Amino acid sequence: MGKKIRVLIVDDSAVVRKVFTEELSREPDIEVVGTAPDPYVARDKIAKLNPDVITLDIEMPRMDGITFLRKLMRYYPLPVIIVSSLTQKGGKMAMEALSIGALEVMSKPSSAYSVGEMSVQLIDKIRAVAGIKVKATGAADTEGNIPEKKTTKALGETTNKIIAIGASTGGTEALKVVLTEMPPNAPGILVVQHMPAHFTTAFAERLNQLSAITVKEASDGDSLVNGMALIAPGNYHMLLRKSGARYYVQVKTGPLVHHQRPSADVLFSSVAEYAGSNAAGVILTGMGADGAKGLLKMREAGARTVAQDEKSCVVFGMPKEAIKIGAAEKVVPLNNIGVTVLSMVAGEQRRIG
């Protein structure tokens, strides 16, 4: 067996440190090299133990996780997975952490989120982010403030084109790039980003502040209109439906698909069925295979499809799987995806093959 993934657990809860250590230590390719109850202890252990991945709570005594993360990303950047409580405050802090440089966010175990289910996902995420070269950020990048973009939001006219986007690890920042390029009259957009329940509310609010379009967390029955993006709420699938000329979304529970809820495959499959050639599908950075088969269904139904290229991905998992099965018509860098998908839905002749 190759080199083990060295993990440092930073959490003020002794119970969480114990449970995570026990669960992770069962994996033959993962080694918990240490734990820390606060950032001050963590700082010393990082220098001494040289971990590959850090799990980080963000609500801690002495120094909060956000302040610590800013310092870490500036002076000693490492792959960080945020573990936060299921609160409104926790969701906003988690979004700030992702903007600073954390790669993933997870919710702490609770009655609605079992330790067993979480540990399986945590193990997958640790494997996905291990080895990623995290770029250092300067002081200007780490202020934590989101400037409000002074733009005029579009009046919501019924959309006749649909853009469907799926993303996972690294997707929060990738989606920011894509959505902030959308003009106020952009076609209606549906987004699945793998993220825990409650965190998607803060995520949508952040994107809405930054974008010329309106971005909101989807509710069951929401109409999809021009100049609007609907974000699938954490722990719920989102599907496209149509009544007459009106597109709307169904938000529902259901089985996990590729260990995910929401699932990009579920969204893409519904878009293939109800929008067909009136749609474009985009698959962004992320681990696993979610979205690949659904994107292929979209392409087979006449939709235009695009995948993010390997160089610009944080994790080239989901796009790679889509490309492998011929689901992606085009493969482009992240900074070209916005203009590419807009030209696709503008009515370009579909390329076959």
CA–CA dist 255, 27 (Å, integer) = 26
Q: Give the type of residue at 205.
A: E
Structural domain boundaries enclosing 135: 5-141
Mean pLDDT on 264-272: 98
Our answer to whether residue 168 is catalytic in this structure is yes
Pick the last residue of a domain from 91, 111, 141: 141
CA–CA dist 236, 250 (Å, integer) = 10
Say what the pLDDT of residue 88 is: 63
Confidence category of residue 111, pLDDT binned at 50, 70, 90? very low
Pair (218, 273) in one structural domain: yes
Say what the pLDDT of residue 131 is: 86
CA–CA dist 27, 61 (Å, integer) = 30
Say if residue 332's pLDDT is above 80: yes
Pair (66, 175) in one structural domain: no
156 inside domain: no
275, β-bridge pairs: none
Query: 203, 20, 263: which is closest to 126 by C-alpha?
Result: 20
149 inside domain: no
Query: 79, 175, 93: which is closest to 122 by C-alpha?
Result: 79
Pair (317, 222) in one structural domain: yes
Our answer to whether residue 198 is catalytic in this structure is no
210 inside domain: yes
148 inside domain: no
Pair (134, 168) in one structural domain: no
Confidence category of residue 121, pLDDT binned at 50, 70, 90? confident
Pair (124, 178) in one structural domain: no
In the chain, DSSP finds a helix count (H) and a strand count (E) of: 11, 14
Say if residue 272's pLDDT is above 90: yes
Among candidate residues 52, 57, 290, 309, the one labeled active-site is 290
pTM of the model: 0.88
Q: Give the pairing of strands 237-243 and 246-252.
A: antiparallel
Say what the pLDDT of residue 62 is: 80
Say if residue 144's pLDDT is above 70: no
Task: Calculate the average pLDDT of the chain.
Answer: 88
Query: 60, 86, 35, 47: which is closest to 201 by C-alpha?
Result: 86
What CATH number is given to the structural domain containing 80? 3.40.50.2300
Lowest-confidence segment of 90-99, 115-124, 314-323 by average pLDDT: 115-124
Which tokens sit at 260?
């995910």
Domain count, the chain: 2
179 inside domain: yes
Among candidate residues 119, 194, 258, 269, the one labeled active-site is 194
**pLDDT tens-digit readout, 187-203:** 999 999 999 887 899 89
Which tokens sit at 319?
């796009």
CA–CA dist 238, 188 (Å, integer) = 14
Lowest-confidence segment of 70-74, 110-114, 165-169, 287-291 by average pLDDT: 110-114
Pair (103, 247) in one structural domain: no
Say what the pLDDT of residue 46 is: 95
Pair (110, 174) in one structural domain: no
Lowest-confidence segment of 39-43, 135-139, 270-274, 294-298 by average pLDDT: 135-139
* Residue 155 neighbours by CB distance under 10 Å: 10
Among 7-16, 141-150, 301-310, which range has the highest average pLDDT? 301-310
The runs of H, that is alpha helices, within 161-286 are 171-179, 199-210, 264-274
Query: 240, 241, 238: which is closest to 217 by C-alpha?
Result: 238
Confidence category of residue 351, pLDDT binned at 50, 70, 90? very low
304, β-bridge pairs: 280
CA–CA dist 319, 291 (Å, integer) = 8
What CATH number is given to the structural domain containing 278? 3.40.50.180
Say if residue 42's pLDDT is above 50: yes
Give the residue, 319 or 3, on which the prediction is more confident.
319
Pair (130, 204) in one structural domain: no
Pair (134, 32) in one structural domain: yes
Among candidate residues 84, 168, 270, 312, the one labeled active-site is 168
72 inside domain: yes
Say what the pLDDT of residue 153 is: 56
Our answer to whether residue 290 is catalytic in this structure is yes
**pLDDT tens-digit readout, 149-175:** 545 555 556 678 999 999 999 999 999
Pair (85, 231) in one structural domain: no
Give the residue, 135 or 132, on which the prediction is more confident.
132
Mean pLDDT on 238-250: 95
152 inside domain: no
CA–CA dist 289, 1 (Å, integer) = 25
Say what the pLDDT of residue 143 is: 42
Pick the last residue of a domain from 79, 112, 141: 141
Lowest-confidence segment of 51-65, 107-121, 134-148, 255-269 by average pLDDT: 134-148
Say what the pLDDT of residue 43 is: 93
Mean pLDDT on 300-307: 97
Q: Contact, 32 vs 79, CB < 8 A?
A: no
Confidence category of residue 58, pLDDT binned at 50, 70, 90? confident
Say what the pLDDT of residue 147 is: 47
Pick the last residue of a domain from 95, 110, 141: 141
Q: Give the pairing of strands 80-84 and 237-243.
A: unpaired
Pair (94, 219) in one structural domain: no
Q: Give the type of residue at 346.
A: A
Q: How many degrees, rounded to 5, is the angle at CA 16 between CA 18 and CA 42?
A: 85
Say if residue 299's pLDDT is above 90: yes
51 upstream amide cis, omega within 30 of 0: no
Pair (11, 123) in one structural domain: yes
Query: 139, 104, 140, 110: which is closest to 123 by C-alpha?
Result: 104
351 inside domain: no
Say what the pLDDT of residue 327 is: 97
The runs of H, that is alpha helices, within the chain are 14-25, 39-49, 65-75, 88-100, 115-129, 171-179, 199-210, 264-274, 292-300, 318-324, 334-345
Say if residue 115's pLDDT is above 80: no
Task: Compute CA distances 194 → 8, 67, 136, 264, 295, whole Å.
Answer: 24, 25, 25, 9, 16
Which tokens sit at 291?
């979205």
